[in-house]
A and B are shown apart, each in its own frame.
Chain A
């Protein structure tokens, strides 16, 4: 009895040692990077790293005054929200079709949609670049919106489909015997019932859109359509070298809203990240 209790105690020590060590490994670089954002530029790259820098808001003024950061922010928000909207408009009916009807080729269509997630951006980058160039969409947020929507459509469709599969069929059948049309059932019964799934899918689509880098780099070649993610890479600004404190602040600017939203949908996160394959928790 006593030995068992001691063993449990040792287990707890190991447990918190391991979890604590990883937590430290996660947070230390983040805190250090925050300190980079809040120090003057001369204290960033030095012969000896400086761990206790002087506090300075230089970078904060720089990103708003020297760069059109408000414009980049606006570009990001428009492109991201637009793309999520496109995904929902296309993805909800598609998910409903895949979840609720029996028809020939259904599983092949479902798998085709899933498989577009595996397409490496680099493979399709060149044709898409020419497609947008010929359409005159290069350097516009419309192009970004379309491409983000395309990247996320498979995710959104599969997540929503997974939530729809959970709804008991009796719920629909009752409405159907009352004479409601399929579209009305989708709109009035299914969509309200799977709202958490729709929100989860939207949040994950939003994160992937914020993170997208390669396409944005190719499509937005002038500051006209820069988003936060690519604007960062361009703070490497030529003769000035990499302006790390500005990069750090912009990174945190993008991080805070994402973090808050993700904490809010925590319970659904694992299901969303696996496109609906893993339920619970």
Chain B
């Protein structure tokens, strides 16, 4: 399936690995030896081409066509022209950015605070297990927990009324910012542990003697954390935030289940925009154009941010 796209796929990025799929003499010659590492890595690379390069090329071609149910009609750049004038597309980019950056900032601050208090605590293993719990629920289940608590059963409103903070039920669904906050809270609840686990491990892995020396010199615990531990953790924080950031920018499940992008498209993320144009309105050419724009953004970020972060943490 899809093998027809492979030759041009190999030509671009990893040509040597592709050349190796042809059968080779069995004898353990010098040439085989030189190619052996390529042979080992080739199956994985070919497999990944199938889900990244093939769809990428497919989406690029499709984005220059009008595709509904019948045959593809070439339309040139029409999809892109329409896309760049589409306020819903820009809105989706903006929503993704706003929701994602707030959620990521909150998670990072909370996880660092918790890690700071937990990493030298005698019960650190216990805290880790408790804090892990939200992360181990299926995201679709978590979405339903928050949909029920905040929207359908209105438990959140009820609790606020009981402590006297509000007088009547919040109408979360009719407010863009309350709906966005709901998505942010759900994401913070489920994924702060991801950062917490990584930060605690990084802190525990640091040299205790440096801390001890600073403490004997009279430095406070907070000062040690701020001036010694935190700077040492920078590469780890970068990697953790990137991995988390990738998942946040592709946020789909919560939007699909909790808000459906509403009200007034105020919580529609870019993933949901593509899903809606493609699989609800069957406007595949248009959805592919949006995919290609997102793909380009992804490649730029991968090249300039991710590569550097992963290299720095390894050395």
Tell me the complex Cα distance, A48–B157, Å: 10
**Which residues of chain B in 279-310 are interfacial with respect to chain A, using CB atoms and an 8 Å cutoff?**
279, 284, 287-288, 291, 294-295, 298-299, 301-302, 306-307, 310
- A interface residues (Cβ-Cβ under 8 A, vs B): 11, 14-15, 18-19, 22-23, 25-27, 29-30, 32-33, 36, 44-46, 48-49, 90-91, 93-94, 96-98, 100-101, 103-106, 108-109, 111-128, 130-131, 134-135, 147, 149-151, 153-154, 157, 182, 207, 210-211, 213-214, 217-218, 228-230, 232-233, 242, 244, 247-248, 250-251, 254-255, 258-259, 262-263, 266, 269-271, 273-275, 277-281
Judge whether A105 and B310 touch: CB under 8 Å.
Answer: no
Judge whether A18 and B117 touch: CB under 8 Å.
Answer: yes
Contacts of B146 in A (CB 8 A): 29
**Which residues of chain B in 36-53 are interfacial with respect to chain A, using CB atoms and an 8 Å cutoff?**
36-38, 40-41, 43-45, 47-48, 50-52
Q: Is B184 an interface residue, CB under 8 A from the partner? A: no
Contact of B275 among A118, A214, A230, A250 (CB under 8 A): A214
Contacts of A218 in B (CB 8 A): 279
Judge whether A232 and B14 touch: CB under 8 Å.
Answer: no
Tell me the complex Cα distance, A97–B117, Å: 41
Judge whether B194 and A273 touch: CB under 8 Å.
Answer: yes
Residue in B56, B136, B306 with the greatest tally of chain A CB atoms within 10 Å = B136
How many A-B residue pairs have C-beta atoms within 8 angstroms? Tell me.
298
Which stretch, B75-83, B98-106, B196-204, B224-232, touches the partner chain A? B196-204
Judge whether A254 and B134 touch: CB under 8 Å.
Answer: no
Q: Is B213 an interface residue, CB under 8 A from the partner? A: no
Tell me the complex Cα distance, A278–B195, Å: 12
Tell me the complex Cα distance, A127–B288, Å: 9
Judge whether A122 and B270 touch: CB under 8 Å.
Answer: yes
Tell me the complex Cα distance, A25–B113, Å: 15
Tell me the complex Cα distance, A101–B149, Å: 54
A17's closest neighbor in chain B, by CB? Answer: B117
Report the minimal beta-carbon distance from B127 to chain A, rounded to whole angstroms.
6
Tell me the complex Cα distance, A115–B45, Å: 12
- B interface residues (Cβ-Cβ under 8 A, vs A): 1-2, 13-14, 16-17, 34, 36-38, 40-41, 43-45, 47-48, 50-52, 54-56, 58-59, 62, 110, 113-114, 117-118, 121, 125, 127-134, 136-141, 144-149, 152-155, 158, 189, 193-194, 197-198, 200-205, 221, 236, 239-240, 243, 246, 249-250, 252-253, 256-257, 270-272, 274-275, 278-279, 284, 287-288, 291, 294-295, 298-299, 301-302, 306-307, 310, 313-314
Judge whether B141 and A130 touch: CB under 8 Å.
Answer: no
Contact of B253 among A23, A157, A214 (CB under 8 A): A214
Contact of B204 among A93, A182, A274, A281 (CB under 8 A): A281
Contacts of B52 in A (CB 8 A): 116, 119, 124
With contacts A93-B43, A106-B37, A207-B136 known, is A251 near B110, CB below 8 A? no
With contacts A213-B139, A242-B152, A273-B197 known, is A29 near B145, CB below 8 A? yes
Judge whether A123 and B44 touch: CB under 8 Å.
Answer: no
Tell me the complex Cα distance, A182–B307, Å: 30
Contact of A271 among B47, B201, B291 (CB under 8 A): B201
Judge whether A36 and B148 touch: CB under 8 Å.
Answer: yes
Closest 3 CB pairs of A and B: A281-B201, A270-B201, A251-B141
With contacts A22-B110, A262-B136, A277-B239 known, is A244 near B148, CB below 8 A? yes
Beyond the given A150-B50, A278-B240, could you list 18 further A-B residue pairs with CB under 8 A, ordered by the A residue number? A26-B193, A113-B45, A115-B302, A120-B249, A120-B250, A121-B252, A122-B291, A127-B56, A149-B47, A150-B48, A151-B51, A154-B48, A233-B257, A242-B147, A259-B132, A271-B201, A278-B239, A281-B204
Contact of A94 among B2, B41, B137, B287 (CB under 8 A): B41
Judge whether A19 and B140 touch: CB under 8 Å.
Answer: no
Judge whether A262 and B132 touch: CB under 8 Å.
Answer: yes
With contacts A105-B14, A111-B307, A280-B204 known, is A122 near B294, CB below 8 A? yes
- 21 A-B pairs with C-beta separation under 8 A: A22-B110, A26-B130, A32-B155, A36-B148, A49-B155, A98-B41, A104-B16, A115-B306, A119-B295, A119-B298, A120-B270, A120-B271, A122-B275, A125-B275, A147-B51, A149-B47, A213-B140, A242-B147, A247-B144, A273-B194, A274-B240
Judge whether B246 and A105 touch: CB under 8 Å.
Answer: no
Judge whether B139 and A211 touch: CB under 8 Å.
Answer: yes
Judge whether B252 and A213 touch: CB under 8 Å.
Answer: yes
Tell me the complex Cα distance, A188–B227, Å: 46
Contacts of A254 in B (CB 8 A): 137-138, 141
Report the minimal beta-carbon distance from A209 to chain B, rounded to whole angstroms.
11
Report the minimal beta-carbon distance from A63 to chain B, rounded to whole angstroms.
13
Contact of A263 among B114, B129, B284 (CB under 8 A): B129
Judge whether B50 and A277 touch: CB under 8 Å.
Answer: no
Contacts of A100 in B (CB 8 A): 37
Report the minimal beta-carbon distance from B130 to chain A, rounded to whole angstroms.
5
Judge whether A131 and B2 touch: CB under 8 Å.
Answer: yes
Report the minimal beta-carbon distance from A130 to chain B, rounded to whole angstroms.
7
Judge whether B236 and A274 touch: CB under 8 Å.
Answer: yes
Contacts of B243 in A (CB 8 A): 117, 273-275
B33's closest neighbor in chain A, by CB? Answer: A182
Tell me the complex Cα distance, A281–B55, Å: 38
